[in-house]
Amino acid sequence: MSRNGLFDLSGKTAAIIGGASGIGRAVAIGAAAQGAAIVVLDANEPAAREVAAGIDGAAAAPVDIGDAASVGAAMETIVRERGRVDIVVCTPSINVRKPILDYSMDEFDRVVAVNLKGTFNVLKATGRIMSAQRGGSIIFFSSIRSQVVEPGQSVYAMTKAGIAQLVRAGAAEFGPYNVRVNAVAPGVVETPLTAPIKANADWYSAYANKSALKRWARADEMVGPTLFLASDAASFVTGTVLFADGGWTAVDGRFTPPGM
């Protein structure tokens, strides 16, 4: 990936939350390739430092997005050490796959605490800083599950739909300060979160065949959509959920008419 005009991030500081693995790691590497100064933030500090060690000039620090104080401290540290934060990408989420009737309240609280409360914590802390500096781009990760569901995905889908609405609310409130808020909505991506599904051949194939492209996405294929939203190429894009799902939500897929 080479630097090119509107997508050049030179001179910008990018905080990648969840940057120790999966999509976050890929985005950290991709943003660095476009010239951004990278701060890798993750609950797994050793893994974050390992990723940062492979990126020239990058730093790493721990963060717990479920803890508002932790998020606020991490962002304030970046501003104190680097002057400002121009881009924040937040990827972490968890899922407990269970039928609604089997869900415990502890499981419900755990998923909501990371996916929804964590997103809100990042939006609030980052929105405050970027509004004061009069500019910035915040990018969250929603999902196809914000639109379509399957059995066992109730709470996860609820949180991903909630993220879409938080993005719109953030865009409305922070837009007057030149702060953009958007989300990427992947389909099925090969990450540590989806590893148990990939290990099941029938499940893996069923998901691959649901998309128009008949395969899963790689984590690095989420880099382009994310960096588009981060860059000046998307300077008039805010409040948007960008689906990078291989056509999953576009294609019905239940039946191919004869002769097609």
Identify whether 204 is a catalytic site residue.
Answer: no
Q: Please answer whether residues 73 and 49 qualify as being in contact, where contact means their C-beta atoms are separated by less than 8 angstroms.
A: no
Distance CA 117, CA 212 (A): 33
- Given 103, 156, 204, 207, the catalytic residue: 156
Distance CA 216, CA 209 (A): 9
Q: Please answer whether residues 190 and 198 qualify as being in contact, where contact means their C-beta atoms are separated by less than 8 angstroms.
A: yes
> Distances in Å between the alpha carbon of 71 and those of 63, 121, 175?
6, 7, 22
Helix, strand, coil percent values for the chain (each to nearest 5): 50, 15, 35
Farthest CA pair distance, the chain: 64
- If one counts every other C-beta atom within 10 angstroms of the C-beta of residue 205, the result is 11
Q: Which residues are catalytic?
A: 156
